[in-house]
Amino acid sequence: MLRILLNALRTGVVTTRYPAEPSVPPNRFRGMPVLLPGSSLPPPKVCPTGALSERLDAGRRHVALDLARCVFCGRCAEDPWAGAVTMGREFELAARTRADLRIEVVADDPAVPAAGRVTGPAAEPTPDADAEAARAASEIHRVLGRSLHLRHLDAGSCNACDWELAALLNPVYDVRRLGIDFVAAPRHADGVVVTGPVTRNLETAVRRTVEAIPEPRIVIAVGACAASGGIVGESYASAGGVDKVLPVDVYIPGCPPRPEAIIFGILVALGRLDARRLARE
Amino acid sequence: MDALRACVGGAVDAEVGPRPSDLTLRLGRTGDLPAAAAVLIGSHSMALATLVATDETATPDGDLKVRYVFEPTARGAADRFVTLLISVDAARPEVPSLTTAIPAANWHEREMQDLFGIVPIGHPDPRPLVVHDGWPRGVFPLRKAFDGSRRVPVEPADEFPHLIAEGEGVFEIPVGPIHAGIIEPGHFRLTSVGETVLHLDARLFYTHRGLEKRMEGLVPLDAFTIAERICGVCSVAHGMGYCEALEQIAGVEVPPRARLIRSIALELERIYNHVGDVGNVCAGAAFHYGTATGARLKERLQQMNERLAGNRFLRGLVVPGGVRLDLPDDLLRVLAITLQDTLIEFDSLMGRIEANPSVVDRLDDTGVLPHQAALDFAVTGVAARASGVDRDARRDHPHGAFAAPNAPELHVVTVAKGDAMARVTVRALEARESIRLVGEFVRRLEPGPLRVALAEPLPGGRIGIAAIESARGEAVHWLRTDALGRVERYHLRSPSYHNWPAVALAAETAIVPDFPLVNKSFELCYSCTDR
């Protein structure tokens, strides 16, 4: 017992300060792909999950990227398109609609700026870290009274998103410090985080679990499969994304999204819950 | 071969393949299958490695084919797969069931029945496995004529017939498919008397995503993105297995540096899994210091993965033909320091676990998997080695850097006892061995190319087969290209596929509150079982 206490003391505090302080992923991290307008962008068939699309408008080639479908494999940023697409390090990508996850550029004209989601940090870094942490906590308190309780629902994921959700409870991310926790019963939950594309064999269980969560509830689709069907798509075995089965409040892109990207998405969802509660009142 | 010819009535055609060291035996009559399998299992002490059905009704053969792939189990046996190939009449798709003689064939045959409509005659438990309630009768999703991209209406269905024990004082405890924690979905029907588990009926395949069908018709590079994502925590192993099968078809040799980097990644995957799994076993035994420490060490390893590969699950490192990213010296230094620190802290954690009677009491003699049962079910990986089965695909089917001439020697860890403690012990020793191996691989790194180009299109009609030792055990990948060099059929037999029946068996020696602990000590994947 004494050794356990000594070890714990020796280890010290390992918890991250995110979201109070910004997090910088390592150099090789593959975050949001950045499409350079005007350069020769890859054709859609380069993307194995169909995240890239193109259309001709007034003779000009528009190339669009759907972040909900992207699995961040980096193939569109390999030669010969390495100059046209680079894998950026931005990971705070959660959005409230699928449309917000779409980036479109005109391939042949550098003068036209990118449309849709504009590159740049969604959460402005704040000068005062403690104030930001306090703000997050007070937001949860104001909206939910005490804390945000989420239920996890595996709707056919490969388990990677699930492990990242589990990582939120490890000593490094420790989301309980933000007033967020995962609960066992849907009846105790304010919302649900869904991973996976909703398989045929789970569709009934998914519906029933979500129906058991009291209103107003939030539904957060975590990862490419939940957000769009991802690598699975729509098939005999899969609905092709959570929003084919249930209304989704927040989409978190990634394959899987890193834990801090999920924290960011949950904070985006909090704003959503707030808006809905006001509407009811 | 002669023994085989002697005991079957029909013709046997032998040919070399899929690999030069392998043998494919084409049986003239399906009725000869049980006798031929008995020879392989009995006289040659082989085990069922995988079973692959294919729909060839649109080819000149006009039939369905089933391949029963066996592998040797004897220590020191050559790396060889022996395939029994039978042709099945599409008008009367029936084959004799092997399950009563070879328990490991159980799920394979049920899956073949669900997805191909090939009926294993005489199967003791022919309930549906992969398709669940409401799937229309007579619709077989892996037949070529079936359009996999459309959703199929759910039909009214009766309740699934669970296998349960009955009698006075017998309780039935349904668990799942949605569980109380952040874990994957599966349904467990426990029947118990008091706290003692009488029987466990596990129903899985809730996460069946139809990925094998999804990959068909894709160019192999696109299909790789899916193979790498069949399972989160086996991303390197499955990505690498698919690549090795593909590279056999393409007839290319992966450069030595790429082989070493692949093997480093495979060991890193094993290390973060094993370290995290030991922590999770502590959660099952209510030892929170152990849980938190395991989670913290795993987190540090995954952060290192992100520095090395740009992804916390090491996705995007392995690619067909080699690796996409190099490991330069500065990252190798990060790797060495992180692993050294992990080793010290992990040893300390194991010390605390072993010195804690309340944890050891929970683990000792809990969830025993007997040696013979491990052999009968062709159990693999940690679960097999903790029951005294000396098998490891890194040695028995060398892959990655182990297939190179100057490969380091692998010390395969076995423990005889077969209980939860044995599985924790094997994991701990293997994590240490993996850390040592990473050092050996790094020492062998020489400058050189990272990737070879694969011909485009790939040769048609060829088969590739690869066995990879993932963190959970041996995974067998089977891949065949079509005439245009695209994926014609891909099948993954994951280690968990063979190990789940062992969990059900081991749970029957436990009490109900120990079931989560037994389950965690096996630590199996649902997603790569269900695909």
Mean pLDDT of A121-137: 53
- Three-state DSSP at B83 gives strand
Burial of A38: CB neighbours in 10 Å, binned 0-12, 13-18, 19+? middle
Q: Least CA distance to A241: which residue of chain B? A: B209
B226, B232, B306 ranked by CB distance to A163: nearest: B232
Query: Looking at chain A from residue 43 to 62, which residues have their Cβ under 8 Å from any Cβ of chain B?
Result: 48-49
Angstrom distance (rounded) from CA B339 to CA A82? 33
All residues of chain B having their beta carbon less than 8 Å from the beta carbon of residue A153 are 178
pLDDT at A122: 41
Distance, C-alpha B95 to centroid of its chain: 25
Q: Specify the amino acid at residue B98.
A: L
Structure-derived torsion over alpha carbons of residues A160, A161, A163, A166, reported in degrees to the nearest 10: 180
pLDDT at B164: 76
Whether chain A has a CB inside 8 Å of the CB on B516: the answer is no
Residues A221-263: pLDDT tens digits? 999 999 999 999 999 999 999 999 999 999 999 999 999 999 9
Whether chain A has a CB inside 8 Å of the CB on B229: the answer is yes
Look at the pTM and tell me if it is higher than 0.90: yes
Instruction: Supply the mean pLDDT for chain A.
Output: 85
Q: Which two tokens stand for residue B512?
A: 């109900």
Whether chain B has a CB inside 8 Å of the CB on A164: the answer is yes
CATH class of B211-530: mainly alpha
pLDDT at B245: 96
Q: Specify the amino acid at residue B297.
A: L
How many CB atoms within 10 Å of residue A172? 19
Whether chain A has a CB inside 8 Å of the CB on B140: the answer is no
pLDDT at B263: 96
Contact flag A209-B178 (C-beta cutoff 8 Å): yes
Name which of B217, B85, B213 is nearest B142 in CA terms: B213
Q: Which residue has the tokens 């729909």?
A: B55
The alpha-carbon gap from B129 to the nearest alpha carbon of chain A, in Å, equals 11
Q: Where are the domains of chain A?
A: 33-116, 129-280
CATH code of the region A33-116: 3.30.70.3270
Strand B473-481 with B463-470, pairing = antiparallel
pLDDT at B10: 73
pLDDT at A277: 55
A137 pLDDT higher than 80: no
A156, A209, A231 ranked by CB distance to B207: nearest: A156
Q: Which two tokens stand for residue B404?
A: 């190179």
Contact flag A235-B151 (C-beta cutoff 8 Å): yes
Band (pLDDT 50/70/90 cuts) for residue A119 is very low
Q: Do residues B233 and A163 lie in contact, with contact meaning Cβ atoms separated by under 8 Å?
A: yes
Angstrom distance (rounded) from CA B321 to CA B331? 22
Whether chain A has a CB inside 8 Å of the CB on B144: the answer is no
pLDDT at A115: 66
Q: Do residues A136 and A19 lie in contact, with contact meaning Cβ atoms separated by under 8 Å?
A: yes
Q: Is the N-terminal amide bond of B177 cis, ω within 30° of 0?
A: yes
- Per-residue model confidence as pLDDT tens for chain B (531 residues): 667 777 777 788 889 989 999 999 999 899 999 999 999 998 888 999 999 999 999 999 999 999 999 999 988 888 999 999 999 999 999 999 999 999 999 999 999 999 999 999 999 999 999 999 899 999 999 999 999 998 888 888 888 888 877 888 888 888 889 888 888 898 988 888 888 888 888 899 999 999 999 999 999 999 999 999 999 999 999 999 999 999 999 999 999 999 999 999 999 999 999 999 999 999 888 899 999 999 999 999 999 999 999 999 999 999 999 999 999 999 999 999 999 999 999 999 999 999 999 999 999 999 999 999 999 999 999 999 999 999 999 999 999 999 988 899 999 999 999 999 999 999 999 999 999 999 999 999 999 999 999 988 889 899 999 999 999 999 999 999 999 999 999 999 999 999 999 998 898 888 888 888 998 999 999 999 999
Percent of chain A with pLDDT over 90: 52
Distance, C-alpha A165 to centroid of its chain: 11
Query: Looking at chain B from residue 246 to 305, which residues have their Cβ under 8 Å from any Cβ of chain A?
Result: 289, 292-293, 295-296, 298-299, 302
A118 pLDDT higher than 50: no
DSSP tag of B506: H
Span(s) in chain B for CATH 3.30.460.80: 2-121
CATH code of the region A129-280: 3.40.50.12280
A170, A231, A255 ranked by CB distance to B299: nearest: A170
A45 pLDDT higher than 60: yes
Q: Which fold, B2-121?
A: Beta Polymerase; domain 2 (3.30.460)
Span(s) in chain B for CATH 1.10.645.10: 211-530
The size of chain A, in residues, is 281
- Interface-testing mutation among B129, B133, B182, B238, with chain A (most A C-beta atoms within 10 A): B182
Contact flag A231-B295 (C-beta cutoff 8 Å): no
Residues A26-41: pLDDT tens digits? 999 999 998 887 778 8
All residues of chain A having their beta carbon less than 8 Å from the beta carbon of residue B338 are none
A29, A159, A237 ranked by CB distance to B306: nearest: A29
ipTM of the complex: 0.92
Angstrom distance (rounded) from CA B438 to CA B434? 6
Residues A169-208: pLDDT tens digits? 999 999 998 889 999 989 999 999 999 999 999 999 999 9
Distance, C-alpha B32 to centroid of its chain: 28
A112 pLDDT higher than 70: no
pLDDT at B421: 94
A278 pLDDT higher than 60: no
- With a CB cutoff of 8 Å and minimum separation 6, the contacts of B397 are B71, B79, B466, B467, B468, B474
Q: Is the N-terminal amide bond of B357 cis, ω within 30° of 0?
A: no
Whether chain A has a CB inside 8 Å of the CB on B222: the answer is yes
A120 pLDDT higher than 50: no
- With a CB cutoff of 8 Å and minimum separation 6, the contacts of B263 are B400, B401, B402, B437, B441
Q: Is B525 left (phi over 0), alpha (psi -120 to 50) or beta?
A: beta
pLDDT at A58: 80
pLDDT at A274: 60
